[in-house]
Chains A and B, each alone.
Chain A
Amino acid sequence: MNLLDRAEEVRFQFKKDLFKVKIDIQSVENFRLRYLGKKGYIPALFREFTSLSVEDKHKCGKILNQIKKESENSIDTLKQRLNSIGIDEDFFDYTLPGKLPRLGHLHPVTQTMNEICSIFREMGFGIEFGPEVETDYYNFQALNFPKNHPARDMQDTFFIGDSILLRTHTSPIQIRAMEKQKPPIRILAPGRVYRNEAISARSFCTFHQVEGLYVDENVTFCELKGTLEIFAKRYFGKDVKLRFRPSYFPFTEPSAEVDISCFICGGSGCRVCKHTGWLEILGCGMVDPNVFISVGIDPEKYTGYAFGMGPDRIAMLKYGIDDIRLFFEGDIRFLNQF
């Protein structure tokens, strides 16, 4: 159909001319008249349109209207530019603010967890989840916390029933994984945990953990140290120093706490590290044989290590946040910073 072809041609020509128009009143007006004036190209197309059959009108109407609207808009824009820039046609206010793309923000603790997980995943760990409502068996007994042992005081627990509770750590996931899988087992267990502790700037009733577990033949303490060293250097920087000191967790034997040299003061002592030069960052140890026995893994054949850390605490240290409650308030002025 001829009319449509001609219309497309007009549209094309218009766009070409548009770039060449000089920004002064006379040139813009001339340009307008050439296309939209009574004798201009576009009214000419419409005159032709009126003589079409009803059917053809349906086909062309939209296109013609579109071309007309486009041209009018372009010329309006040209006129606006004329008005806003006055006589200086080259003026361009580059100081006007840009339009920022609007993207959301992941929670700083999510970001921290993801960073931690991705480092260990590169080393070969997979990721497992588990329920937040747990049984006493998975949360304590299978992890070698005897009933009525003072070790249970290390973790103040919310109870739902006699033997149902909110998990106090993500270690039950280790038990569940070892029940399901055969060695070699290498998993990370991230998730939300609960402690029945008074709420303050330093402690909240819920927070997060990432735990790791590796079980195979001949897993050694040296290997545990090597793994955590790689993690710490990747996460905190290659100059970071690690300090392992013996500690006690019922599910590992031996157990250790790991400090890193304070990345704020470089080890010389500051308020954050309480003037010790060290920041406590994670707990770890070799899997206790009793834990292996409770999941039916032969402790003579297999050894393993486990470690755990708190992304909330790590994020607090990393970003200099002094109140854990900020993580749970959802203030966008806070979240916007990460």
Chain B
Amino acid sequence: MIVNTKWLEKYIDIPYSPEELEEHLTYIGLESKIQKSPVDKIRGVIIAEVLDVSPHPNADRLSICKVSTGFDMQDVVCGAPNVAKGQKVPLALLGTVLPNGMELKPVKIRGINSEGMICAEDELGISSDHSGIMVLDEKAPLGMELSEYLSGEGTSIDIDLTPNRPDCTSHIGVAREISILTQGELKIPEIKFKESEESTEDYIDVEIENIDGCPRYAARVIKNVKIAPSPQWLINHLKSVGIRSINNIVDASSFVLMETGQPLHTFDYRKIEGKKIVVRNAEEGELVETLDGIKRALSKDILLICDAKHPVAIAGVMGLSNSEITPETKDILIESAYFSSTTIRNGSKYLGLSTEASYRFERGVDPEGIINAVNRITDIIIELAGGKVCKGIVDKYPKKISPAEVKVRFKRINRLIGIDIEKSWVKEIFEKLGCRILKSDDESVQVLSPTWRPDLEREADYIEEVIRIYGMHKIPSAKRLQIKPSNEVNSRYDLIEKLRSILCSYGYFEVFNNSLVSEKQTQFTFKPVKPVKLRNPLSLDMAYLRTSLIPGLINTARRNINRRNCDLQIFELGFIQYFDPDSETHAMEILKFSVLITGAIEDEHWGYQIRKSDVFILKGVIEDLTHRFGIESLKFEKCKNNYFRHLLGTNINGKEFCYLGQINQEYLQSEWSIEVPIYVLDANASVLLDQAKFEIRYKPLPIYPAIERDVSILLPEKIPIEEVNQKIIREGGELLREVKFYDLYYGKNVDNGLKSITFNLVFQVADRTLKDKEVDKRMLAIHEVLKNDLNAKLR
């Protein structure tokens, strides 16, 4: 909503500069921003009068103009078709630099000296208009700087209106807010026109079929108007709020709209058949052509304004071309109505068409402002286009819109705000807002809301008004807070942050990826799921909710690799969604974390060797991570999945927890054009957090010495290490405290089909020093079993 200060001053004295007004309005909830005017940049252009125009002797399309600035006279060559004697025009003097960068120097144009330039709007940077020179009002003072003259047109302020304030969609509405601040008197324009003998009733009848959609409809006929261009003052007013002038009748309705907030529609009366207006719902699929020339199919919820035979307007949204005002129009029908906000909003949404009118109806217009608006536009039309006003207004008001009656308790105001507000001040403010005070005592005040404030329905709404006008910035902050500490323990949040920070401590970078992905990306899962699809996606690439964090990580890896960052350790923690297999509508939502590694896992350094990513790094990550959440001895199983070359899976207490592996290289190549190996881990964070145990019991440190032994064997290469491990543990028995696998070797000195492996064993008990003999016995047993069961050879 744009308002102009000069326009506002018609209704209220403004004792503020535009900057002060901007701030004051912002402080009462009308977030304002001064629109920077291009006019401020114009320097060295002054107002001159064209005294004489004569044709250029050497060029058909040029003319020589004698212009006066009041203190000087000059000859200027001008090429504009619209230049004429007696005009007031902007004249750029020699030496001036125009906003478009052009500098004026004395020139000879086809042999004639030109000592300046009469400017068009585009040359001044005001608009893109280059059809002719800018012509100013005939009263513009000679010799004045153009910028000074134009700034007299007021400052335009853009108000970012919240949807609860329909009353401020007009200059009078904003002026009313200013009057509350300044205590000034609101000046409502007087109505001056005289009615003729003919009665409106004889020309039009109104029938409302849907009274919920249209509780009130008023109409008047004006005969014999003369359609003409609008006068300069009206053009300027509309321009200052961003509206283009069309003709005197259409502009008059725009003016009243911007003045009062009431949308009006003007029909060419002779195109209305049967002297009748019918307000009814459209038929499903009914076709109409709106003023913008577009044919539209309607739904049955859309409200139509019709004559005896045809629709003539989509109520509250836009008129139809068949009844439009044209230069030939003689008699006009004015519509001023109250349409229900829901009806208009549905219609506007359905048609994808939002207009100045629908914007206001959606928010709620003043049901009692309708008649005033008809009278106001009548006045302006009579002034601009002449004509005869038919007597009376046809005013159908089948469903009374009553403002709310609200009881406001002073105690409640103070309790919500936290300070005591003067009762008399509160009542004064309510009156200023336009409320009628019905009753009032020491406890409370009973008010009738103004008809232009449909948002004031409840006590809470009035308390807001008190704070708003009092000034939030003047309300003190509590010095002591009464909030009591929360008693949550081990909250989900803490566990999630712990998880994040552990991953971070491993050297991994947290990334965020878009949760909205393409259909193809939803297929990357460990078992088939039904993805959740959006009805109104931004694009097909973002039409689904992600079913896995991995494609996002691969995409991020690809982006980094393309930018020559090939050593990556990244993770994301976030939700995935898919439909519950048992339900078509209920989306499962699972908190996941996924890790991706590729390339070197350390920075290159002069003194060290760097390690490359592999599956076992991720296996180590998940083992350490679960350990830190109090979960021990994960069992891994080999799994199969087409997206993976090697894949391992593991559960926690029977709950599917984590997969990790190396991504299939052909898939990386064909889908992502990635050539390097990529390893990923995908884990269900909820399972980890639910199963986490933090009951650490301290184990006393051993006081008796330990005995260390190595088991070095040659083993058939296909026997898994874990099998050897289990045998050692079993045979080591209660004396064996720890087994560590630490060497694996193939090749030189080891026969084909064998591998050389070494375990380190630590024997220790809590209550005594172990004897070598005891340990030797166990070692012997271990060697026996490995030899017999696994065909191992001692080294």
Using a CB–CB cutoff of 8 Å, the interface residues on chain A facing chain B are 1, 55, 58-59, 62, 96-97, 99-100, 102-107, 109-110, 114, 117, 121, 123-127, 129, 131-133, 148-151, 153-154, 158-161, 164, 166, 184, 186-187, 190, 192, 194, 196, 198-199, 205-206, 214, 216, 218-223, 225-227, 229-230, 243-248, 253-257, 286, 288-289, 303, 327-333, 335-336
Contacts and interface: CB of A to CB of B under 8 A. Distances in A.
Contacts of A192: 515, 574-575
Interface in B505-548: 505-516, 532-538, 542, 545
A331 to B, nearest CB: 6
A62 to B, nearest CB: 5
Given A103-B507, A248-B162, A161 B535 contact: yes
A151 B477 contact: no
A227 B481 contact: yes
Contact of B475 (A225, A253, A329, A333): A225
A333 B574 CA distance: 22
B698 interface: no
Given A196-B538, A229-B477, A221 B504 contact: no
A184 B484 CA distance: 8
A151 B163 contact: yes
A245 B513 CA distance: 35
25 contacts: A58-B709, A59-B772, A102-B507, A104-B508, A104-B571, A107-B512, A123-B483, A127-B488, A127-B492, A161-B585, A192-B575, A205-B542, A220-B417, A220-B418, A225-B475, A230-B481, A245-B26, A245-B31, A246-B472, A247-B29, A254-B472, A330-B513, A332-B560, A335-B510, A335-B511
Contacts of A218: 415, 482
Contacts of B769: none
B509 A336 contact: yes
A169 B59 CA distance: 68
Contacts of A131: 587, 589
Contacts of A164: 585, 587
What 4 A-B pairs have minimum CB-CB distances, sorted nearest first? A220-B418, A222-B418, A246-B29, A248-B162
B776 to A, nearest CB: 7
Contacts of A121: 486
B491 A127 contact: yes
A205 B560 contact: no
Interface string B132-162: 0000000000000000000000000000001
Interface residues of B, number: 98
B479 interface: yes
Contacts of A244: 472-473, 475
Given A132-B575, A247-B31, A330 B556 contact: yes
A8 to B, nearest CB: 13
Contacts of A114: 497
A256 to B, nearest CB: 6
Contact of B461 (A219, A226, A246, A253): A253
A149 B511 CA distance: 37
A109 B486 CA distance: 25
A329 B589 contact: no
B458 interface: yes
A147 to B, nearest CB: 8
Contacts of A105: 504, 509-510
A326 B710 CA distance: 53
Interface string B158-175: 000011110000000000
Contact of B476 (A125, A225, A246, A329): A225
Contacts of A102: 507, 602-603
A249 to B, nearest CB: 9
Contacts of B574: 192
Nearest to A222: B418
Interface of B: 26-29, 31, 162-165, 341-342, 345-346, 362-363, 415-419, 458, 460-461, 463-464, 467-468, 472-473, 475-488, 491-493, 497, 500-501, 503-516, 532-538, 542, 545, 556, 559-560, 563, 565, 568-571, 574-575, 577, 585, 587, 589, 602-603, 605-608, 709-710, 772, 776, 779
Given A109-B512, A196-B536, A329-B559, 8 more contacts: A107-B510, A110-B510, A166-B545, A199-B538, A218-B415, A220-B418, A286-B416, A328-B514
Given A205-B514, A222-B476, A253 B559 contact: no
Nearest to B412: A300
Given A253-B464, A331-B560, A148 B419 contact: no
Most A CB contacts (10 A, CB to CB) among B500, B569, B587 go to: B587
Contacts of B534: 158-160, 166
Nearest to B708: A62
Given A103-B507, A246-B29, A303 B533 contact: no
B500 A330 contact: no
Contact of B606 (A97, A133, A219, A248): A97
Contacts of A199: 538
Contacts of B480: 226
A299 to B, nearest CB: 8
Contact of A106 (B419, B500, B607): B500
Contact of A221 (B460, B475, B559): B475
A178 to B, nearest CB: 15
A295 B325 CA distance: 53
A194 B516 CA distance: 10
Nearest to B486: A126
A333 B563 contact: yes
Most A CB contacts (10 A, CB to CB) among B31, B487, B493, B507 go to: B493
Given A192-B575, A245-B26, A104 B482 contact: no
A254 B345 CA distance: 25
Contacts of B477: 222, 225-226, 229
B484 A328 contact: no
B507 A104 contact: yes
A222 B563 contact: no
Nearest to B28: A246
B481 A226 contact: yes
A205 B534 CA distance: 13
A132 B532 CA distance: 12
B406 to A, nearest CB: 13
B482 A133 contact: no
A70 to B, nearest CB: 16
Nearest to A225: B477
A148 B346 contact: yes
B28 A127 contact: no
Contacts of A288: 460
B345 A206 contact: no
Contacts of A196: 536, 538
Contacts of B491: 126-127
Contact of B165 (A133, A248, A329): A248
A99 B570 CA distance: 21
A248 B415 CA distance: 21
A159 B565 contact: no
B493 A223 contact: no
Contacts of B568: 332
A47 to B, nearest CB: 22
Nearest to B508: A104
A223 B481 contact: yes
Contacts of B772: 1, 59
A279 B568 CA distance: 36
Contacts of A289: 458, 460
Contacts of A151: 163-164
Given A110-B500, A160-B534, A248-B163, A330 B560 contact: yes
A125 B486 contact: yes
B501 A106 contact: yes
A192 B473 CA distance: 31
Most B CB contacts (10 A, CB to CB) among A151, A184, A330 go to: A330
Contacts of B560: 330-332
B163 A99 contact: no
A109 B509 CA distance: 13
Nearest to B574: A192
B165 A206 contact: no
A205 B472 contact: no
